[in-house]
Chain A
Amino acid sequence: DVQKWMGGELAESSVNALGSDDRDQCLKAVRSIKNATIGSNSKKRLYTNLGVIPKLERLLSSGDEELITQVVATLGSLINGTNPDSLKQIIESQIPIVLIQLLNHKSLKMVEATARTLKIFFRKPNAPHQLIFEVRFLNHQLILQERTLSGLVNLIKYTPENIAELAATILASFYTSRSYLEKSELLDRMRTYQTSLWASGAFEASMKLLFSNQTKVINAKSQESALRIVGFLSFMNLDICKSIAHHAKILDALNKLIRDSSPIIKLLAASCIANLSRCKIDTIVPLSDSATVAVVLKLLHTSDPEWIREEVPAALAHILIENEDLQRMVVDSDAITILISNLRDESASPSLIQSSLKALAAITELLEDGRRKVIDTGILPTIASFLENTSIGIRLAACDCIRSLSRSVKALRTALVDLEITPSLFKLLDDESVDIQTIALAALCNVILDFSPMKKMALENSGIKLICYKTSNSNVTIRMNAVWALKNLVFMADEETKESVLKELTPDGFFRLFKDPSEKIVILVAKLFRNMAFKHADWLVQRLDVSSIIQQLDSLFLESSPEILSEVLHAINNLTTGSDDTKTAIMNSPLIGKVILCASHPSAKVKIPIIWCI
């Protein structure tokens, strides 16, 4: 229609004016584009399609402060919408880096505009947050200076409250965006970031925000960002928690803030307290674990503001990690009911789904009662459907749920088999996300156990081949889970299954596994060996050659941990249950002398297998 056509024409001429030599024309065009796009997703799309972004990018190096400030604000408007194209184009350009450089500008007005736009930018889940850690400021002489991180921290410390709040939020956005990364295997990555953040002085800056006298609105936002930063720093990091605990002021502040009227402040304070408490340092944590969890459980019922519903389950999941008592507390509450209804809510956002799945995975991690309660709600098919979701975070959380639930014999034989989950899990072994591959493999470890009816299906369709292949993966956790899967696979298995595994691994490949640099994996390989030898000593000896076996086991006696020794002893014992020939070969080898020596080993782990040997 005419209006649309006219709008299109006007838009095109504005975009063209961006390339004008006339500075005032240019400025006018930028302003007009900014005003047109604010609040209108269709206009944002329109201008993006007209190629506005590269043109705006060029203007960023104009050196004209007023012009640049307007360009920055316009970019903020383009990012702040639902159009994925605008964001994508910006991410793929140099714009983020240029904007970060502008944070160091001498004009506070420019810094504020830039910080505002960057705040919006880094709020997007797929924004390149690692830039915060990688990009360095260029000072006026174009000499590489401090890192962005320090730059942001300085902004928090030394600039007026409105800019300080923006900088803090940019910093804090790093934590919220990567919330799906905090599985314990991935802590190494997180630790590097925590160390840099701590070294940059972010904690002190956060303290400043928590204790300064600011205008009410800014205060709330600053507190929120400060708490997010402290929460990120303290998550599963003993060293940082020890340092934090020395500041009595922060403990007092947290004690007060967990009673704040704002739900998000309550939640973030609770997370910080739980993080400190987990580290079990000799400090009086403001609140007991159960009181902290009680606060969070209550917040599960809050939907004001609406978006807090997305944050509470994820926070709960973090607090429950590896803590059975707290998981019991949550199982006994109405949390499961609320989380299930979140998953069934047709209008639920992806964040709410992901967050709720994370919480369910945590609740069912250790306790059978929790698993049964969840399974009895009939939610399993819904969880299984999330394994194919387009979002990595959702797939990962759903996979983690399945893994937690698969730790139950009953579940494996009933609800999970009805789900026909095995093909989905195998598919996830090739997921684009390494984290998902790891968890899918972990779930398969349980699915292929002897008492699982899904074992048969797993073995067909080249399941063994896939798993064996993963034993030489470059990622240590994937290797570990793959060996674990093999160990479980051959537990009480028939010779045919064991032969399939050995055929795939090959004898050489099998012995090579013993040379893995990770001790945890070597223990698992020893267990795998033990299981292979169980009831099939003669077969194993014939396949692997007895002298190679003896040599390998002998070498493990050298300076090995009690865990490894224990498995080696069990393995030797299993080998002696074979035919007389096999038994004689073992008894006449140096192994027996080593076994006898182990009888006087201090560790009970080592002594118990000796009793079997006798």
Chain B
Amino acid sequence: MDSFYLYSGSRFEGKQGNGKASYPVIIELKTVDLVHSRFTGYLHISGLTQEYPQLTTYFDGEIIGKHFSFVTNKWDATESVDLEYWSQFPEFHEIAHRWKIANSDDFDDKDHLFMRWKEDFLVPDHRVTSIVGASFAGFYYMKYSKSNGMFSGYYYHPKMIDKLQPLELRYVRERCSATFEFC
């Protein structure tokens, strides 16, 4: 039942940022592949810049465990950054002492999963590589609660002044469901 809220087409809404500098966010999952610990989706954020009052990016999700380590080792994130961000989640402390060797067994009977989300390109035009006033060069450290489909986490960018920008999302209840598979 881990995947009850995680499926193609599931949506989550919430906000990124704090107080005045907070922006509505909706994510839509596109593909969910728990076997390979990956998923993809779109992230819509409103009001971030004048040029793009509605901004949508495609992102890759990596679920920590069997295939991905807590140690990021890319995207300009050092181990100390990793520790700093993962430690923001109270659930991380149980596993902190062996964080570098954690695997999927560590999450099987827990209510949470840890993930990283990395935005890759703009939707609809992937050729646009930079936007004034917004950047998607960083990535998110995220936690997901299996029981209620809530995401919470923090955006990290090495050059960001405003560190630990929070992102919180909850599952948008849907009464109906659709299906697709790649052929």
| Interchain nearest-CB distance for A170 vs B (Å) | 38
Question: Any chain A CB within 8 A of the CB of B124?
Answer: yes
B40 pairs with A410, CB closer than 8 A: yes
Residues in chain B near residue A459, CB distance under 8 A: none
Question: Any chain A CB within 8 A of the CB of B21?
Answer: no
| Interchain nearest-CB distance for A558 vs B (Å) | 23
| Interchain nearest-CB distance for A548 vs B (Å) | 20
Interface string of A558-578 (1 = CB under 8 A from B): 000000000100100110110
A492 pairs with B60, CB closer than 8 A: no
A406 pairs with B182, CB closer than 8 A: yes
B120 pairs with A410, CB closer than 8 A: yes
| Interchain nearest-CB distance for A494 vs B (Å) | 13
Question: Any chain B CB within 8 A of the CB of A413?
Answer: yes
Residues in chain B near residue A223, CB distance under 8 A: none
A534 pairs with B31, CB closer than 8 A: no
* Contact residues on A (Cβ < 8 Å of other chain), bracket: 35 or more
A531 pairs with B121, CB closer than 8 A: no
Q: How many residues of B contact A (CB 8 A)?
A: 24
Question: Any chain B CB within 8 A of the CB of A279?
Answer: no
B121 pairs with A577, CB closer than 8 A: no
Question: Any chain A CB within 8 A of the CB of B161?
Answer: no
Stretch at the interface among B94-102, B104-112, B132-140, B172-180: B172-180
Question: Any chain B CB within 8 A of the CB of A470?
Answer: no
| Interchain nearest-CB distance for A9 vs B (Å) | 62
Interface members, chain B 117-166 (any A CB < 8 Å):
120-121, 123-124, 126
The prevalent SS among residues of B at the interface is: loop
- The complex places the Cα of A576 from the Cα of B176 at a distance, in Å, of 9
Question: Any chain B CB within 8 A of the CB of A358?
Answer: no
Chain B residue nearest to A449 in the complex (CB): B180
Question: Any chain A CB within 8 A of the CB of B15?
Answer: no
B179 pairs with A414, CB closer than 8 A: no
B176 pairs with A574, CB closer than 8 A: yes
Interface string of A447-472 (1 = CB under 8 A from B): 00111010000000000000000000
| Interchain nearest-CB distance for B136 vs A (Å) | 14
B38 pairs with A368, CB closer than 8 A: yes
A413 pairs with B126, CB closer than 8 A: yes
Residues in chain A near residue B58, CB distance under 8 A: 409-410, 413
B178 pairs with A492, CB closer than 8 A: yes
Residues in chain A near residue B36, CB distance under 8 A: 367-368
- The complex places the Cα of A391 from the Cα of B94 at a distance, in Å, of 61
Interface members, chain B 6-48 (any A CB < 8 Å):
8-9, 30-31, 36, 38, 40, 42
A534 pairs with B176, CB closer than 8 A: yes
A414 pairs with B126, CB closer than 8 A: yes
- The complex places the Cα of A156 from the Cα of B30 at a distance, in Å, of 57
List 24 A-B residue pairs with CB atoms under 8 Å apart, sorted by A's residue number.
A406-B182, A407-B183, A409-B40, A410-B121, A413-B58, A413-B123, A446-B182, A446-B183, A449-B180, A450-B180, A484-B183, A487-B180, A488-B183, A491-B9, A491-B179, A492-B9, A533-B176, A534-B177, A534-B178, A535-B176, A573-B177, A574-B177, A574-B178, A577-B175
Q: Which residues of B contact A (CB under 8 A)?
A: 8-9, 30-31, 36, 38, 40, 42, 58, 60, 120-121, 123-124, 126, 175-183
Given contacts A410-B40, A577-B176, 4 further A-B contacts (CB under 8 A): A409-B30, A481-B183, A527-B179, A535-B176
